[in-house]
């Protein structure tokens, strides 16, 4: 006769042989790219539209692990005009061509409202009010279980990396 507790044990072979299961500890979960969090240190304007895409591309090229999501915090932005929307739209298209998702963080209510109602082709679920919510949403979009790992905890506690537009070469130098 079996005891009640022995019938409710998890099968140990399921854990050992789950490498091919989507979301399991196998290669399908490890193959996803990283999340890179960046903070724009200046106001968005027509002057930096090209430099923004170039700076993000340069940061992607320097990444040790290929990224599948860029979280861009726009805390320095006080307003959003047509040139700023065009710069973000250009960055969104450039990243989409590389199959990288852009998530925008607009902590100021007026910037969030302008991005939410503006003529920008970014999904409403890619617009957030904090870096934490953007990182958690990006992690939840990945295949498999969205368990909180030590690497994710570190990403949630660190401030975004400052994106410097001054150190980027001109667009003509990148070709």
Find the CATH number of the domain harbouring 46.
Answer: 3.30.750.24
Please report whether residue 24 resides in a domain. no
Please report whether residue 77 resides in a domain. yes
What is the domain extent for residue 97?
33-170
pLDDT (mean) for 126-150: 88
Contact in structure between 44 and 74 (CB atoms under 8 Å): yes
Does the pTM of the predicted model rise above 0.85? Answer: no
100 vs 2, residue with greater confidence: 100
Please report whether residue 12 resides in a domain. no
Confidence of residue 29 (pLDDT cuts 50, 70, 90): very low
Cα–Cα separations (whole angstroms), residue 159 to 84, 112, 132, 163: 23, 20, 10, 12
Task: Note the pLDDT tens digit of each residue in 32-64.
Answer: 678 999 999 888 777 777 788 899 999 999 988
Phi-psi region of 157 (alpha: psi -120 to 50; beta: other; left: phi over 0): alpha
Q: How far apart are CA 50 and CA 113, in angstroms?
A: 24
Please report whether residue 97 resides in a domain. yes
How buried is residue 44: exposed, middle or buried, by Cβ count under 10 Å (0-12/13-18/19+)?
A: buried
Mean residue pLDDT of the chain comes to 77
| Sheet bearing 161-163, strands edge to edge | 127-128, 101-105, 67-73, 34-40, 161-163
- Count of structural domains within the chain: 1
């Amino acid at each position: 006769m079996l005891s009640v507790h022995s019938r409710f044990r998890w099968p140990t072979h399921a854990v050992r042989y789950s490498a091919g299961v989507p979301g399991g500890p196998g290669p399908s979960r490890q193959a996803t790219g990283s999340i890179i969090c960046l903070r724009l240190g200046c106001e968005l304007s027509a002057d930096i539209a090209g430099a923004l895409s170039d700076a993000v591309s340069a940061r992607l090229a320097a990444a040790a692990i290929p990224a599948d999501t860029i979280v861009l915090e726009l805390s320095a932005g006080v307003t959003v005009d047509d040139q700023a929307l065009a710069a973000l739209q250009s960055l969104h298209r450039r990243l989409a061509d590389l199959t990288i998702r852009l998530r925008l963080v607009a902590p100021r209510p007026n910037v969030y409202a302008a991005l939410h109602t503006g003529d920008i082709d970014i999904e409403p679920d890619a617009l957030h009010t904090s870096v934490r919510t953007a990182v958690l949403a990006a992690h939840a979009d990945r295949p498999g279980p969205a368990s909180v790992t030590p690497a994710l905890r570190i990403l949630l506690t660190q401030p975004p990396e400052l994106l410097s537009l001054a150190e980027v070469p001109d667009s003509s130098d990148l070709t």
